[in-house]
Amino acid sequence: MTSATHQTPTPEQYGVGARFTLSVYDSDYVRIILEALGSADATDLTIETNDISTFITGSEQRVLAYVQSVITAAARSGAHLSAAILLSRGCPGELQCALPPGVHALAAAPIELPRSGVRARAHWSLYPLLDAGSESPSVHAASTPQAAPADHMTPIYAAIEQAKAEGVYSGSDHYATRLDGDLSSVLQTAANAWIGVGAAVQHVVTHLTVSINSPTIPGASDGASDGAAAAPLA
């Protein structure tokens, strides 16, 4: 309909970005968060921080490099921290997508992050969204049945197999897959599955809750410590 459909949209136009909340379990959290945000390279990114979370848009590689960098800097304080991270592609805008549903899904290159040296454990969920093929942006939507989008489960399972091969997969819990490894490997696994599914489905969101420096894991890379033995610090 518009000329935009004839050009490859930029990451910003396609809504590639993240929203994340970094929580620091330490009374000195203001300093730790401000220093971490200040230390990260914001080149080629649009970043907006408010009292709940920080929004970032740009290429997949730059967005994830920024998130990795902020969390790594905060982790080096030694404080226990958690990060709630949302990654989204294919639905720019706020309440309603600025792109119509059913546009051609846009592939992107997998990301690659340098090792952080920070051990992270995470719960990860990946959501290919219904609006991709069956929702119109109007209030009374979803009245037009369409063909199911291309296979989106294959890249999810491929990402899990990849995570197993890399030793990052740490099991599955209700509603989430557990990842455990270097922060960069954890983010790479989640982001590359999100990118992979996004090659077939327009609107894909993934959520991660990352835990770092938890006192229930005394630094050792000794695998999961679920259950009653772990102090309930969630």
State in angstroms the smallest separation of the CB of 150 from a copy of itself. Answer: 7
Collapse the DSSP code of 34 into the 3-class scheme (helix H, G, I; strand E, B; otherwise coil) and give the result.
Answer: helix
Residues 200-229 that bind a copy of itself (CB under 8 A): 201, 205, 207, 209, 211, 214-217, 225-227
Contact 103, 202 (CB under 8 A): yes
Q: Which of 165, 174, 218, 222 binds a copy of itself (CB under 8 A)?
A: 174
Q: What single letter denotes the amino acid at residue 93?
A: G
d(CA 202, CA 63): 19
Residues 21-40 that bind a copy of itself (CB under 8 A): 21-30, 33-34, 37
Cβ neighbours for 51, distance < 8 A, ≥ 6 positions apart: none
- The C-alpha atoms of residue 135 and residue 143 are separated, in whole angstroms, by 8
Query: Could you tell me whether strands 81-89 and 17-24 are parallel, antiparallel, or unpaired per DSSP bridges?
Result: antiparallel
The residues in 52-71 that bind a copy of itself, with binding defined as CB under 8 A, are: 52-55, 57
Q: Which of 94, 218, 220, 222 binds a copy of itself (CB under 8 A)?
A: 94
- In terms of CB distance, is 118 or 217 closer to a copy of itself? 217
Query: In the set 100, 130, 221, 223, which binds a copy of itself (CB under 8 A)?
Result: 130
Q: Which tokens in the block code for residue 8?
A: 């490859």
Q: Kindly state the smallest distance separating residue 112's Cβ from a copy of itself, in Å.
A: 24
Q: Which is nearer to a copy of itself, 62 or 207 (CB)?
A: 207
List the x/- string, 3-22, binding to a copy of itself by CB under 8 A.
------------x-x-xxxx
Is the sign of the CA dihedral 117, 118, 123, 128 positive or negative? Answer: negative
Taking each helix axis as running N to C, give the angle between helix 60-75 and helix 29-39, from 0 to 180 degrees, rounded to the nearest 10.
Answer: 140
Q: Total binding residues for a copy of itself by CB under 8 A?
A: 93
